[in-house]
Structure 1
Amino acid sequence: MKFESLIFSIILLMGCNNYLNIKKNIINNYSFLNKKSIEKTIHDWNFLIKNASKKYNIEEKLIKSIIYAESSGNPYAKSKSNAIGLMQIKPSAAGLEIYRLNGKKGQPSVQELYNPKININIGTSYINLIQKKNLLGIKNKEIMRYATIVSYVNGTSAFLKIFSKNRNKAIKIINSMTIETFFKYVKKHPSIQASQYLEKVIRIYNLI
């Protein structure tokens, strides 16, 4: 029994060490980030973030992390793929989806998405949709956070398909994984262009 306990302890420690190595590598890769600069950058939006957090039951740290990673706190940021504002909302994708969810016709205008309040509201509502509907069933809170981050930038369907075309089966597979195996699986998968983004958001999240 003592020998079996020793083996179990060694395996457990190896798992913990691997998980710690993931976090250590993330910190090393994004050492240019620091808490002071992040807080200064998003300071003007704290009130809006707090309100959206309460409204949609999404943790403030996650909203802040995505804002900083997506736009560095610039409300007028616009990508080549027409992602707009603080949370880089695409009018015809996340914007359209949230409009439909709220019973609105059409999609948000570019001008609306340049408005920090509207942008943060739509972005946080989209995170809520991802977690409370699209990824519903994922048990581990940290894996849920990682899955949300990847889904935010790639879309939930694309994310789940790397595990299975069947949503329920995909969720079941994810629930069978450790944090380490999940992270490695997502990072190595060629159809998901989010490994660096995921690492960056995690680093920001751990700083604030």
Structure 2
Amino acid sequence: MVLKFFIFSIFFILGCNTSENVKKHFSLNKKQIEKTIDRWNIIIKHASIQYNVDEKLIKSIIYVESAGNTFARSSSNAIGLMQIKPSAAGLDIYRLIGKKGEPSIQELYNPQININIGASYIHLLQKRNLFGIKNKEIMRYATIVSYVNGASALLKIFAKNQDTAIKIINSITVKKFFQYVNKHPAKQASHYLEKVIKIYKLI
């Protein structure tokens, strides 16, 4: 028991990098990407089916967010493989399933719980905040930006009102959508989008 605790402690200390540190090892090598996320394939597949979310999108977000480090933790308290914030996405999903409070840090270090919450949150974004976007490619890109920066922040780029924003998005091309996002003050959102898209196209 003591040995088990000691091993876990070592993994915890070594693995508890911030998301920012993990991203320094970001690679666009297809074999490296597959090797990094291979161990989570079954969980990802199940979550993809359960929440009707693109499997490749889940994998891409995991790779960009944590590089497959289950103990990744950012300075803003985003936790685990999909960098779930307990008081944001975690809270939203707990409310959705009728649970009180928010997931604990220990729960979010669990790959299955983390991926399930992440996939459920993607589903929530698409079916509630971004519902009505017709172009599948733009929906994917809008989801990615919303995942990192919040759906309300994305929609406000286009209009103050959600319905109006969706109408504008439906009237523009993919290229124009990128131009809108690039003009937004939160530049990290467009950089994040570019990274996830690159990974998505590789896997």
Query: TM-score, with normalisation over the residues of structure 1?
Result: 0.84
Aligned to 1:110: 105
1:190 counterpart (173, 185, 189): 185
1:84 counterpart (79, 86, 90): 79
CA contact (8 A) 1:83 1:91 kept: yes
RMSD in angstroms over aligned alpha carbons?
A: 1.1
CA contact (8 A) 1:78 1:88 kept: yes
CA contact (8 A) 2:27 2:33 kept: no
CA distance in 2, matches of 1:119, 1:68: 14
Aligned to 1:11: none
Read off the aligned partner of 1:49 and give its amino acid letter.
I
Aligned to 2:141: 146
Read off the aligned partner of 1:51 and give its amino acid letter.
H
CA contact (8 A) 2:70 2:80 kept: yes
**Percent of paired sites with the same residue:** 75
Shift of 1:150: 0.1
Structure number with greater Rg is 1
Instruction: Answer 1 or 2: higher relative contact order, Cα 8 Å, separation at least 6.
Output: 1
Moved over 6 A (4+): none
CA contact (8 A) 1:99 1:107 kept: yes
Gaps of 5+ in 2: 1-25
CA distance in 2, matches of 1:115, 1:191: 30
CA distance in 1, matches of 2:147, 2:31: 25
Number of residue pairs matched by the alignment: 178
Aligned to 1:132: 127
CA distance in 1, matches of 2:187, 2:134: 22
